[in-house]
Amino acid sequence: MSNGQVQREEDLFAHTRMDLGSHIEELRGCLWRALKWFILAMVVGIFVAQPVLVFIASPINSQLRAIHQERFDKKVKDWTAATAAGTGGEAQKIDLELPGEAVDLLAKRLAKQLNLPVPADGGEEKLVLQVVLPREKLAPILFPIFNELYPQDVLKAFNILDGIFAWLKVAMYCGFVLAAPMIFWEIWSFVAAGLYPQEKALVYRSLPLCIGLFLAGVALCQFVLLPMAVHYLLGFNAWLGLEPELRLNDWLSFAIFTPIIFGVAFQTPLVMFVLDRIGILSAELYIRHWRIATFIILVLSAFMAPAPDPVSMMALGVPILALYWLGILMCKWWPRPKVDLDVEEPEEAVEV
């Protein structure tokens, strides 16, 4: 057997070599198929965009409702004077002191119910009423008046096209999420043709962990950090006496891309493992410089956290620090194979 024949048998890519034009054509085909998958998934996303939009807006809407309820409870305390004690669950006398704007609203409602002329604004500055009913039945009576005097904060559309743009944005987001497995498969089919079998095996083993870490980062952001950040920021605005005008499109951009950033940040152990496998860094280096790594992670967490409060920063920084040490354990458990450079090359076969 000649030397050329030996090299051809050991060449794993002898049957897969293509020229530059063939590579470009193959890449064009993969991208075109990925685009078709995305368009098909976006059609499906159009039909699920509305409930997904409600889900994405749920963290801020729930916090807005909670703040609105706190304001109402405070107003009820301000409007309700000391009450006579009742016996058991019986009704009790309550002195209700309504401010001028509430008096005007109450007078208009009573006039409408009694078919009387509706009075003009600017009546009494304060009205004291005595009602006899259980205290828990007072809130449903006052809540409609409170809602009209102090409207509940909700996400607003400041442009007539904001609603449809938000719907299309969510539909595209849903389309990408639904088509992501097929898009990545098309890209992988192009890249995998140039990888060695051991490199492919490494990717296949890492893929479940990669997906799991990404979903864990997204879930932590969506269900823990975003509600926490919204509660802190809205509470801070209320402390300053500010009434935020929350735009729907601005919130969507924040609520969609922030969980994705968290999912990418949770890939830290896999990045460390890959850098160790290809020989750029090592587990020993990670351990030796763990103080510097901790400082860098905490600084990045301060910039990546959805709110600048210490709780949100630590809620992101502590999990990433734990993932940093998980990356070290992965490098220790599965060290890269050592290559023996002292092994002599086998003698080449020479034809006689």
Q: Report pLDDT digits (tens) over 106-131.
A: 766 666 655 656 555 555 566 566 66
Both structure tokens of 351: 């034809």
Please indicate, yes or no, whether residues 40 and 167 belong to a single structural domain of this protein.
Answer: yes
Please indicate, yes or no, whether residues 261 and 327 belong to a single structural domain of this protein.
Answer: yes
For 246-271, write each residue's pLDDT tens digit.
Answer: 888 888 888 888 888 888 889 899 88
| Domain of residue 136, residue span | 76-149
Asked whether 334 and 293 are in contact (CB, 8 A), the reply is no
Lowest mean pLDDT among 130-144, 170-184, 333-347: 333-347
Please indicate, yes or no, whether residues 26 and 173 belong to a single structural domain of this protein.
Answer: yes
Please indicate, yes or no, whether residues 283 and 171 belong to a single structural domain of this protein.
Answer: yes
Q: For the residues of 43-63, what is the DSSP string, one character each?
A: HHHHHHHHHHHHHHHHHHHHH
pTM beyond 0.85: the answer is no
Question: Rounded CA gap, 179 and 36, in Å?
Answer: 9
314 lies in a domain? Answer: yes
Please indicate, yes or no, whether residues 135 and 55 belong to a single structural domain of this protein.
Answer: no
Domain count, the chain: 2
230 lies in a domain? Answer: yes
1 lies in a domain? Answer: no
342 lies in a domain? Answer: no
345 lies in a domain? Answer: no
Q: Note the pLDDT of residue 295.
A: 93
Question: What rounded mean pLDDT belongs to the chain?
Answer: 77
40 lies in a domain? Answer: yes
For 298-347, write each residue's pLDDT tens digit.
Answer: 898 888 888 777 878 888 889 999 999 999 998 888 776 665 545 454 55
Please indicate, yes or no, whether residues 129 and 272 belong to a single structural domain of this protein.
Answer: no
Both structure tokens of 101: 């704007």
Question: Rounded CA gap, 117 and 112, in Å?
Answer: 8
Question: Rounded CA gap, 121 and 100, in Å?
Answer: 9
Please indicate, yes or no, whether residues 26 and 165 belong to a single structural domain of this protein.
Answer: yes
133 lies in a domain? Answer: yes
Please indicate, yes or no, whether residues 61 and 81 belong to a single structural domain of this protein.
Answer: no
Asked whether 84 and 92 are in contact (CB, 8 A), the reply is yes
Q: Helix, strand, or coil here: 81?
A: coil
Handedness of CA 119, 120, 124, 128 (dihedral sign): positive
For residue 21, count CB atoms less than 10 angstroms from its CB and return exposed for 0-12, middle for 13-18, buried for 19 or more: exposed
Please indicate, yes or no, whether residues 140 and 172 belong to a single structural domain of this protein.
Answer: no
Question: Rounded CA gap, 174 and 140, in Å?
Answer: 39
Which of 204, 294, 309, 307 lies closest to 254 in space, CA to CA?
Answer: 307
Which of 251, 298, 280 lies closest to 153 in space, CA to CA?
Answer: 251
